[in-house]
Amino acid sequence: MVSSSPLPEGFTEFDVFSLGSCLLVEGLLGFLLNAVTVVAFLKIRELRTPSNFLVFSLAMADMGISGNATIAAFSSFLRYWPYGSDGCQMHGFQGFLTALASLHFIAAVAWDRYHQYCTRTKLQWSSAITLTAFIWMFTAFWAAMPVIGWGEYDYEPLRTCCTLDISKGDRNYVSYLIPMSICNSVIPMLVVMTSYQAIGRRFKKTGNPRFNAGAPFKTMLFCWGPYGVLAFYAAIENANLVSPKIRMIAPILAKTSPTFNMFLYSLGNENYRGGIWQLLTGEKMNTPQTENKAKIN
């Protein structure tokens, strides 16, 4: 660590090193695991289906989250943000864009699985490409708003990375938070919850469960729930009254999402898992022909 840089308020030397180490592990692990998902889709012809394109797009968004975490880890070891105010805005925009996109792609995969298992309808390439383009444009709009003044990007409590500023809790923040959260958090979570509930009922009726239908929504709540609670708490109370260490728990948990998603949607998908095995070993794995059968443990 750079001894000449002062410690962030409320943190000890050990805290900064520990949080930086967590960010580094999350960033590198999530990036490498999702890079395997991306490369497998590009290299293995059998994986290039519309449903797997949504998993590929989710992995691309998660690589962005992991890259954001890696930059934050580097800054944490320096004990300061070395890229200036413009760099902070870019870091906040990139992190928020990929986080929102990840949430929407999780919902898109849930919606696709619902149709596969409940209506026996296969996703078409035109629908997959249109949906993917819409998600990126829609989330880019919401991520760009704090850059131009609706909401604001600023340093997280560790002051070595940037995200949506919750410290003020003023009218500008609240007016941005509510519609943004409804469009990018509440609606995706409802899609995920209702889709997997319907799939679970279908599995119960047939007596042939193919995966744990409750795992995706529970994982989503674990990774993103604390961030949502903190954001809405800041809308009604002064978030600065909460310990900086506690406030850092939310972004740390959120950045575990890329790793969980790789196991849930890539390795948990029998078809995709076979493609990854072929990429890594050169040997084909016998997998079911159903395009997106998932086996989540």
**Interstrand relation of 153-155 and 162-164 (parallel, antiparallel or unpaired):** antiparallel
What is the C-alpha to C-alpha distance for residues 180 and 190, in angstroms, rounded to an integer? 15
Q: Which two tokens stand for residue 30?
A: 């999530």
Pick the range with the lowest mean pLDDT from 108-117, 227-236, 275-284.
Answer: 275-284
Q: How many CB atoms lie within 10 A of CB 81?
A: 21
- Nearest one of 73, 54, 59 to 30, comparing CA atoms: 59
Cβ within 8 Å of residue 277, ≥6 positions away? 283, 284, 285
7-16, 83-92, 256-265: which range is least confident on average? 7-16
- Lowest-confidence segment of 23-27, 36-40, 218-222, 239-243 by average pLDDT: 239-243
Mean residue pLDDT of the chain comes to: 89
What letters, b where the CB count within 10 A reaches 16 and e where it falls short, cover 176-206?
A: bbeebbebbbeebbebbbebbebbbebbeee
User: Is-contact 73 251, C-beta < 8 A?
Assistant: no
Mean pLDDT within 223-245: 89
* pLDDT(141) > 60: yes
Report whether 224 contacts 186 (CB < 8 A): no
Closest among 49, 138, 105, 91 to 262, alpha carbons compared: 105
8 Å CB contact between 66 and 258: yes
Condensed to tens digits (0 to 9), the pLDDT of residues 118-136 reads: 988 899 999 999 999 999 9
Distance CA 165, CA 187 (A): 22
Q: pLDDT, tens digit, for every residue of 165-195?
A: 988 888 999 999 999 999 999 999 999 999 9
Residue 297: predicted pLDDT: 33
Matching residue, tokens 């940037």: 162
Tokens in use for 277? 């095995």
Tokens of 22: 């967590």
CA end-to-end span of the chain? 40
C-alpha–C-alpha distance, residues 2 and 17, integer Å: 11
Identify which of 167, 156, 143 has the alpha carbon closest to the alpha carbon of residue 20: 156
Decide if 257 contacts 223 (C-beta within 8 A).
yes
Rounded average pLDDT over 63-87:
93
* Amino acid 2: pLDDT: 41
Can you tell me which residue has the tokens 């490369």? 39
Residue 3 pLDDT grade (very low, low, confident, very high; cuts 50, 70, 90): very low
The arithmetic mean of pLDDT across residues 277-296, rounded, is 62
